[in-house]
Amino acid sequence: MRVCVVGCGAVGSLFAANLARLEDVEVWAYDLAQEHVDAINRDGLQLSGAGDVVGRLRATSDAGALPACDFGIVATKAMHTSAAIAATAHAFGDGCVGTVQNGLGNEEALAEHVERVIRGTTFPAGKIVAPGHVQWDVKGDTTFGPFEPKPAPAGEIERLADACTRAGMPATAVADARGPQWRKVIFNASTNPIGALTGLTHGRVCEDAALRALVSGLVDEGKAVASAQAIELDADPEDLIDHAARPDVAYDHKASMLQDVEARRPTEIDFLNGGIVRFGDEHGVPTPLNRAIWALVKGLERSW
């Protein structure tokens, strides 16, 4: 089978390099960073840290060079989904396209360009340390399921999950993948922007009781929006937030949005709190705190 990873940043690279280890999978990567593409084609895609892997694959910054693929795995930042799938959709005329991105709205963006869409949520994390080289920080599970309005066939979703699992990226195919997605979105929307606005690490956000109460207020709104859609969260975001605050887990972790803000890069706020607000509006659930946080982070982006 042939898989194309669309957006070969840290998370995309974890999928691409691991899948490339399988004999029966041919991996392509589409990415706009030419240096990264050249390094991958020259030396392979190297992972180090939680696992040491060198994946041999074909990378390109020219979407026209992509062959027809059975699967796409979209891993761009959420604000680049539309542009990335518009450029690459031709390769997935007969294939299925899944997302392993953050936030809400990515599946909808994919469905505007391709017919069979896979809803996905992934927890592994890493960072690019040099062109062609990714530091693999955290291992984690991935869940795939159908995007209900334009679903990929169950058998195909299972085929993709099976390939990922065999490649060392444990993945499960489920009938309803919204639970894990919303659990992660609520976690991220309730903690990332708080770090971004205050400059505090995850652990420090959680040990300030007043701030932790604000986090809970955001979580409660997210849960209410999920519940209005009959989505059952697969775990309580509150437990995950407290777990992550432990010194041996992620106390000192600077949320990716805080890193974005410090580097003055656009954040994914539109797809996190903005997504919760939009879905809340659709289902008549008020989300005043998520709306406030969304406006504050948008304001912060506009100050640059």
Partner 1 sequence: MRICVVGAGSIGSLLAGHLATVTDVVVLTRRTEHARALNEHGLRVSGRHDFTARMTAMSDPRDLSDFDLGIVATKANGVEAAAESLGGRFAGATMMTVQNGLGAEETMRAHGDWPLVSAVTFMSGTKHSDSHVEYILDTPTWLGPYGDTPFERVQEIAQLLVDSGLKAEALPNLLPAQWSKLIFNATVNGVAALTRLPHDDHYAAEDELADLGHLVHELVEEGKRVATAAGVELHDDPWEMNVLATKRGSAHYPSMLEDVDARRPTEVELINGALVREAARRGVEAPLQTAVYRLVKAREASYL
Name the site residues for partner 1 (rule: CB under 8 A).
194, 197-200, 204-205, 208, 210-211, 213-214, 217, 270, 274, 277-278, 288-289, 291-296, 298-300, 302-303
Which CB sits closer to partner 1, 160 or 205?
205
Cα 298 to Cα 32, 129, 196, 227, 250: the distances in Å are: 25, 28, 11, 27, 26
> Please, are residues 60 and 37 in contact by the beta-carbon 8 Å criterion?
yes
Determine the 3-state secondary structure of 158 from DSSP. Answer: helix
Burial profile 27-36: b = 16 or more Cβ within 10 angstroms, e = fewer: bbbbbbbeeb
Q: How far is the CB of 61 from partner 1 (least distance, A)?
A: 32
Which CB sits closer to partner 1, 137 or 208?
208
Q: How far is the CB of 268 from partner 1 (least distance, A)?
A: 13
Q: Which residues are within 8 A (CB) of 58 and not within 5 positions of it... i.e. 6 or more apart?
A: 26, 27, 28, 29, 41
Q: How far is the CB of 38 from partner 1 (least distance, A)?
A: 37
Name the one residue in this structure whose structure tokens are 């898989």: 3
Q: How far is the CB of 203 from partner 1 (least distance, A)?
A: 13
Which CB sits closer to partner 1, 23 or 302?
302
Which CB sits closer to partner 1, 173 or 205?
205
DSSP state of 254: P
Which CB sits closer to partner 1, 11 or 261?
261
> Please, are residues 91 and 66 in contact by the beta-carbon 8 Å criterion?
yes
Q: How far is the CB of 297 from partner 1 (least distance, A)?
A: 8
CA 166/CA 121 separation, integer angstroms: 18
Which CB sits closer to partner 1, 97 or 218?
218
DSSP state of 90: G
Nearest to 137 by CA among 123, 150, 157: 123
Q: How far is the CB of 278 from partner 1 (least distance, A)?
A: 8
